[in-house]
Amino acid sequence: MEFNFTEEQLMIQESARDFAQNEIAPSAVERDIKAEFPYEIVKKMGELGFMGMMVPPEFGGAGLDTVSYVLAMIEISKVDASVGVIMSVNNSLVCYGLEKYGSPYIKEKYLIPLAKGEKLGAFALSEPEAGSDATKQKTTADKDGNYYVLNGIKNWITNGTTADYVLVMATTDKSKGHKGISTFVVEKGYEGFGHGVKEDKLGIRSSDTCSLTFENCRVPAQNLVWEEGKGFNFAMNTLNGGRIGIAAQAIGIAEASLEAALKYSKQRKAFGQEIANFQAIQFKLADMAVKVDAAKLLTLKAAALKDAAKPYYKEAAMAKLYASKIAVECALEAIQIHGGYGYVREYLVERYLRDAKITEIYEGTSEIQRIVIARALLDQK
């Protein structure tokens, strides 16, 4: 594995860092409090190429590798994990899925504007009774001439109220179980497609999460992605890359926690000296630094494997499992190091904890990542 980043990768990292510090940080606290979606920020990110980073230029993207994407995701999520998840869904679930499996028509009509950041995407797999147990899809898509008619409910959809295009998994043939699931591009504004109210969340509050409803929603047959019955494989294959994105999001939160803890421990005095002089504090900082680096190595390994077109699903699950765990741990330790000040909004670390928790839940809970890893180890996949 290569430990030196290329000049291009370092340049992407730096430009993401500059953008995050200058354009995202100033409004992050207020957007968290008010649960406000970062419309202007997402628009600018599109203009800078951050919404379709890995898509080839002929389809409107920046044509970068997954390692660059990970470096950028870390910088953005370090400042605001809400923006991180919006970016992650558009890049690694929606754009990747359409680039890999979309027809020429779908690429032209949907991928190009999504990769350019002119349109925003969402990925709708989860349902009220099909979260971890994702094969138990109840949403149906019945063929009717040149259309599929969708009926059902999707739950917890990131970018749900804001997305222009949603990738929806639905059952086209119930008798075939998960091999009867298909994926469709559904446009905002199609008749019969609606959404619920925005969820009032613990963390990533500035991101937009809601349920989606389909009531006799007619979707043109040419919006079928890949082919009938391939929708579950589509979702799983796409989620492997998504899990790298969420691992990077978690690392961003963990790194922000470490930096905040380092800064505060050198400012705060107790018993006549900086608390950074106490070994108990130093050990916490040391442990946090080890965890952040270990999570980065796992995540970059998964990204490098993906870039080399080698199998990476196990490594992606390992990266997400570990990075999400240490994000929660680092945020908790950062609060501990801040004492009472860590528990209030005046300092940022309480948000880091609230934002960190979701990384252990979405794109497959930690329990599901362990299932994926164990099955790979036991050769059961």
Nearest-angstrom CA–CA distance, 271 and 56: 58
Binding characters for ligand CAA, 150-169, by CB under 6 A (x = yes): --------x-----------
Please identify which residue in 13, 77, 91, 158 interacts with ligand FAD, judged by CB under 6 A.
Answer: 158
Nearest-angstrom CA–CA distance, 22 and 28: 11
Q: Which amino acid is at 249?
A: Q
Nearest-angstrom CA–CA distance, 122 and 97: 11
Nearest-angstrom CA–CA distance, 344 and 255: 20
Please identify which residue in 132, 222, 273, 282 interacts with ligand FAD, judged by CB under 6 A.
Answer: 132
102 near 109, Cβ under 8 Å?
A: no
HSE-CB at 119 with a 13 A cutoff on CA atoms is 18
Close Cβ partners of 258 (under 8 Å, ≥ 6 residues apart) = 285, 288, 289, 292, 330, 334
Please identify which residue in 48, 289, 361, 376 interacts with ligand FAD, judged by CB under 6 A.
Answer: 361
Give the binding-site size for ligand CAA (rule: CB under 6 A): 24
When CB distances are held under 5 to 8 angstroms depending on the partner's kind, the choice from ligand CAA, ligand FAD, none that residue 216 binds is: none
When CB distances are held under 5 to 8 angstroms depending on the partner's kind, the choice from ligand CAA, ligand FAD, none that residue 209 binds is: ligand FAD
Q: What angle do CA 239, 243, 246 make, to 5 degrees?
A: 130
- Alpha helices in 65-182, H assignment, sequence order: 66-79, 81-88, 96-101, 104-106, 112-116
Q: H-helix or E-strand containing 166?
A: strand 165-171
When CB distances are held under 5 to 8 angstroms depending on the partner's kind, the choice from ligand FAD, ligand CAA, none that residue 124 binds is: ligand FAD
363 lies in the binding site for ligand CAA (CB under 6 A): yes
Nearest-angstrom CA–CA distance, 275 and 284: 12
Q: Which is nearer to ligand FAD, 204 or 335 (CB)?
A: 204
Both tokens of residue 13?
Answer: 């990292």
302 near 242, Cβ under 8 Å?
A: no
When CB distances are held under 5 to 8 angstroms depending on the partner's kind, the choice from ligand FAD, ligand CAA, none that residue 135 binds is: ligand CAA
Both tokens of residue 356?
Answer: 């960190």
Please identify which residue in 15, 27, 103, 135 interacts with ligand CAA, judged by CB under 6 A.
Answer: 135
Binding characters for ligand FAD, 69-108, by CB under 6 A (x = yes): --------------------x-------------------
How far does the chain reach from its first CA to its final CA, in angstroms?
26
Q: Which is nearer to ligand CAA, 91 or 265 (CB)?
A: 91
Of 142-150, 152-160, 173-181, 298-306, the segment contacting ligand FAD by CB under 6 A is 152-160
- Alpha helices in 123-278, H assignment, sequence order: 231-267
When CB distances are held under 5 to 8 angstroms depending on the partner's kind, the choice from ligand FAD, ligand CAA, none that residue 313 binds is: ligand CAA
363 catalytic, yes or no? Answer: yes
Of 34-42, 127-135, 184-192, 336-344, the segment contacting ligand CAA by CB under 6 A is 127-135
Phi, psi of 254 (to 5 degrees): -65, -40
> What residue ranges bind ligand FAD (CB under 6 A)?
89, 123-126, 131-133, 156-158, 201, 209, 358, 361-365, 367-368
Using CB under 6 A, list all residues that contact ligand CAA.
85, 89, 123, 125-126, 132, 134-135, 158, 178, 232-233, 236-237, 239-240, 313, 362-364, 368, 371-372, 381
Which residue numbers are catalytic? 363
